[in-house]
């Protein structure tokens, strides 16, 4: 499975990131981008308010790792976009 982190270009209620898990990342990103019925509530909100996102990172993992990352918080630590914006450096590829 693939765990992925989305970086919203505009924060939504102080949330800049979304973490999810899927078997097919390309298909899942399309679902989020269109705000369809299989999208998360946060991505659906973003779609209907014109807020775009980028893939901030992805890893091979399982639902336990996804839950750990969500519970841990501080998603900006794992977001390649935030890391690049803060340091000016492009982080090494994960997973």
Residue 95 has pLDDT above 50, yes or no: no
Q: How many CA atoms lie within 13 A of 1 on its CB side?
A: 11
Residue 23 φ/ψ region, left for φ over 0, alpha for ψ in the -120 to 50 degree band, beta for the rest:
alpha
pLDDT of residue 41: 87
Give the pLDDT confidence of 32-60 residue by residue, as tens digits. Answer: 998 777 778 888 899 989 999 999 999 99
pLDDT of residue 89: 64
The CA distances from residue 70 to 17, 18, 66, 87, 88, in Å, are: 10, 9, 6, 23, 26
Residue 94 has pLDDT above 80, yes or no: no
Q: Please tell me the distance from the alpha carbon of residue 80 to that of residue 58, in angstroms, as a whole number.
A: 10
């Amino acid at each position: 499975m693939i765990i992925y982190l989305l970086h919203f270009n505009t924060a939504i209620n102080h949330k800049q990131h979304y973490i999810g898990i899927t078997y097919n990342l390309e298909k899942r990103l399309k679902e989020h981008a269109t705000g369809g019925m299989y999208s998360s509530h946060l991505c659906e909100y973003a779609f209907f308010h014109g807020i775009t996102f980028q893939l901030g990172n992805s890893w091979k993992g399982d639902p336990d790792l996804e839950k750990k990352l969500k519970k841990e918080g501080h998603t900006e630590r794992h977001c390649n976009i935030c890391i690049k914006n803060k340091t000016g450096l492009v982080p090494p590829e994960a997973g």
